[in-house]
Amino acid sequence: MFGKAKALLRKIKRRSWMKYALRGVGGNDNFERLDLAYAVEDPWNMDSPTEQARFEATNRIIEREFGRVGSLLELGCGEGHQSMHLSRLAECSYGLDVSPKAVERARLRLPQAHFAAADIFGQPWSDEVARFDLVTACEVLYYLGDVEATLARMSTIGRACLVTIFAPAARRVGPHLDRIPGLRKDWIWHGGTVWLVAWWHND
């Protein structure tokens, strides 16, 4: 009984904090407030069964469509929760997040991977065309001001790309995706939550 009450209090605290921290964040590159969200650990509740189910379903699609890849770059890696899953499918894993706090925690969670506190335009590894075998952006595009430019950058530095989007946000992001040649789509369901998965090859 005490454990359930403690978990409920943590949930209320997280939700209250995120409501405050994420004011004015959607669609406008408000990186300072995204970093503010990480004043608490796991602000997005990535350890929840729902998010874990999304990670596993995303991995299944990647494995089905791309197999094991040499290098994988993850945009919006956060504290490295999904990075742990994605790293199973790559020889070498890279992660970017605009929150320095999140990146510090990701490095502790997955020390064998490479992480940097930057956006895709400031990533430190290389700007060469097709630098990475796969570039992913899971649950991140709707926080960015210029979705089109981000997708174009992903397509430049990735041989292939994959994104996931919480279904209600597909209205904003979907039209940008639909302009990508050779785009393929699938859906992930868990309970009452639905995500769009989209991927494409750039060769």
pLDDT tens for 1-34 read 556 666 666 676 667 776 766 676 665 666 788 8
Q: Same domain, yes or no, for 53 and 31?
A: no
% of the chain surpassing 70 pLDDT:
87
Q: Same domain, yes or no, for 97 and 135?
A: yes
Which bin fits 189, alpha (ψ -120 to 50), beta or left (φ > 0)? beta
The pTM for the full model equals 0.90
Q: Same domain, yes or no, for 113 and 175?
A: yes
Token pair, residue 86, equals 């994605």
Let me know if residue 144 belongs to a domain. yes
Q: Same domain, yes or no, for 22 and 120?
A: no
Let me know if residue 69 belongs to a domain. yes
Range of the domain at 31: 2-37
Question: d(Cα 128, Cα 69) in Å, to the nearest integer?
Answer: 18
Q: Can you say how many angstroms the Cα of residue 126 is from the centroid of all Cα atoms in its chain? A: 20
Do 132 and 72 form a contact (C-beta atoms < 8 A)? yes
Q: Same domain, yes or no, for 29 and 128?
A: no
